[in-house]
Structure 1
Amino acid sequence: MIISDATGETAERMVRAATLQFSEPVQIRLHSRVRLESELEQILEKASELRALVVFTVVNAEERDLISKLIERYNLETVDLIGALISKLAMFLGSAPAGVPGLLHSITDDYFRRIEAVEFAVKNDDGAEPRNLPKADLVLVGISRTSKTPLSTYLAQRGLKVANVPLVLGVDPPEELSQVDDRKVFGLIVQPDMLMRIRQARLSHLGMPHDSSYGQRAHIDNEIAYSREIFRKHANWPVIDVTNRAIEETAADILRIYQERFEPAASSPGVIAR
């Protein structure tokens, strides 16, 4: 049996993970938001009848003390998942715990949300899965070396599911991009001189010749012109110039515009430059 003064989902995940180490079948009963002494007594009495192992996550010290007394009365086997950790942290930090139920659950939810977002970004990098574009919270669009991947990863660590789509000269963007809410799509551009230096450095790193069209100014100018043409067709996409900007700086602008666009008074899109 699992007893929690919040949702109990964190405890249930931990218990289920532990039971996977054993071949014997285990029945799990979750009792969430247990706050009253009468509830505790009823649950623990039933646990005694079933000879169940009791696992509990209760952050309030008084409630934990009450559980300890009832455990002795009913002679139960128990595991306190969080009490010992809270006590140790209180001693280490030299301060009293808040004793607020649900904080662990909210932190755990946030953690899993970020993990899911990072996995989404990895699977949908560089246009890998166009069918997933409508599922994204944000979609970044731009030619090669406009910081799409590092921005996707950074924003994913903030809990947003981000996909990115490369613009390739002479190739139409994927049809699925038209299914995405314009408020979620951001265009990325970079000044040609900077892009040429970045690409030539990339070619050197890969051991490829610098006369490849990938690093040539004329080809880069054509790519940038093509991307601007795409952006003009989608006037509601904000276009951000990433030239000489840190990833964190560009990400902050994207987040600000994204938040504004999902409020009643949304600002007009435009080019953001230093």
Structure 2
Amino acid sequence: MSPLTKRLKIIIISDGTGETATAISRAIMTQFPERDVYFTRYKNVRSKDQITAIFDEAAIHHDLIIYTVVTSELREFIGEQARVKHVRALDLIGPALTTFANYFEQEPKAEPGLLHAVNDDYYKRVEAMEFTLNHDDGRNLASLHLADVILVGISRTSKTPLSVYLCQHGLKVVNIPIISNQPLPVELREVDQRKIFALTIDPDALMGIRRNRLTRLGAQNHTGDYADHMKVIEEIEWANELFAENKRWPVFNVTDKALEETAADIMKLINMRKNNIFKQLKREQKED
């Protein structure tokens, strides 16, 4: 078989997912389109025994090994195995770690899997944002039970911008407008009531917001009930009475508050609840 037609194997060793090495290797292979290769990936490699077994196999078939291992001891062992068993091996991360360490005058953490943890956090935020945008303004209530946070409030109480801000912290948020003297959605009654957070606002502040919106829309001379002073007061009073009836809904007044401030208050309450649940579980375990 011609050397150009022989199918070759590239082995990837990683103490994480191996995605970095795979991506770089595939990018490099675009420069060698005539070569036929396939990849074998070994993830979460953390011991010398694992490495020895991989090199024993690679030595038989003269495979190429590419590795991304952050622990210096294991990198040195891989280099030793490559020399002893005459296997070509490429260290993708070691030289970079050394260069950065010298530049920062600081040793790296050498903790495997950190990049994967960052990626997980990123994908969680993306998933939360997609969910939140798909559930804006009371849409898709059939999947309301999947939400982490449910915001309820009358029109112009910052439900949508607050939802978007919270989802950037990985929370799946649904916001539901409530309309004076109209029944609440059935799904809202059936969901875990601890997920629901009510938003209220002072009448004068709401009047200003609604009138500014009408001005932007060129409809300032046709306010109707939307920006009528008495109607606004009645609407807020109705909403506040509704919130009072549902005692498990914490109420946040958004008047003159930055989104960050209200969001911080909501996240603080969520974390407090989680901690209380955790403490309760620990107490129950001790009792058992």
Q: Same fold (TM over 0.5)?
A: yes
Match of 2:267 among 228, 232, 255: 255
1:235 equivalent to 2:232? Answer: no
Q: What amino acid sits opposite 2:202 in the alignment?
A: Q
SS of the counterpart of 2:242? Answer: helix
Measured in 2, the distance between the counterparts of 1:146 and 1:180 equals 22
The equivalent of 2:154 in structure 1 is 143
Answer whether contact 1:56 1:79 (CA < 8 A) is retained: yes
Stretch of structure 1 that moved more, 128-137 or 97-106: 97-106
Tell me how far apart the structure 2 counterparts of residues 42 and 239 of structure 1 sit (CA, whole Å): 60
Q: CA deviation at 1:110?
A: 1.4
1:4 to 1, 4, 14: 14
Query: Which residue pairs with 2:206 in the alignment?
Result: 195
Q: Secondary structure at the match of 2:77?
A: helix
Aligned counterparts, 1:114-153, within 5 A: 114-153=125-164
What SS is found at the alignment partner of 1:140? strand
Counterpart secondary structure, 2:199: strand
Counterpart-to-counterpart distance in 2, 1:9 and 1:153: 33
> Aligned partners of 1:17 and 1:111: how far apart in 2?
23
| Aligned position for 1:172 | 183
Paired with 2:22 and 2:125, the residues of 1 have a C-alpha distance of 17
SS in 1 for 2:151: strand
Structure 2: runs of 5+ lacking an equivalent: 1-10, 279-288
Question: In structure 2, what is the Cα distance between the partners aligned to 1:165 and 1:121?
Answer: 11
Cα displacement string for residues 21-73 of structure 1 (whole angstroms, at most 9, x for unaligned residues)? 99x99865442332222321211332454565544321112322332343454
Matched, 1:42 2:82: no
Separation of aligned partners in 2, 1:25 and 1:164? 53
The answer as to 2:249 corresponding to 1:244 is no
Give 1:84 shift.
4.7
Q: Which of 60-69 and 112-121 deviates more?
A: 60-69
Instruction: Return the alpha-carbon distance in structure 1 between the equivalents of residues 175 and 266 of structure 2.
Output: 14
The answer to whether the 8 A contact 1:59-1:99 is kept is: yes
Cα distance in structure 1, aligned partners of 2:251 and 2:126: 28
Residue 183 of structure 1 contacts residue 261 of structure 1 at CA under 8 Å; is this kept in 2?
A: no
Stretch deviating more after TM superposition (256-265 or 112-121):
256-265
CA change 1:256–1:204 in 2 (3 A) is same
Based on CA coordinates, which of the two structures has the bigger radius of gyration?
2
The Cα shift of 1:253 comes to 1.1
Aligned-partner Cα distance in 1 for 2:96–2:166: 31
| Residues in 2 aligned to 1:154 and 1:228: alpha-carbon distance in whole angstroms | 24
Structure-2 residue corresponding to 1:32: 43
What percent of counterpart residues are identical?
38
Q: What secondary structure sits across from 1:3 in the alignment?
A: strand
Match among 97, 100, 110 for residue 99 of structure 1: 110
Instruction: In structure 1, give the amino acid aligned to 2:120.
Output: D
Q: What does residue 271 of structure 1 align with?
A: none
Query: Alpha carbons of 1:51 and 1:221: their partners in 2 closer, same or farther (altered >3 Å)?
Result: farther
Say if 1:10 and 1:104, in contact at 8 Å, map to a contact too.
no
Cα 1:228–1:58 shift into 2, 3 Å:
same
Mapped to 2, the partners of 1:93 and 1:172 lie a distance apart of 61
Contact kept? 1:44, 1:74, Cα under 8 Å = no
Aligned partner of 1:269 in structure 2 is none
The CA distance in 2 between the partners of 1:178 and 1:30, in whole Å, is 49
Report the CA distance between 1:18 and its aligned residue. 6.5
- Other-structure match for 1:206: 217
Q: Give the corresponding residue for 1:163.
A: 174
Distance 2:23 2:185 in 1: 41
- Whole-angstrom CA distance in 2 between matches of 1:42 and 1:167: 64
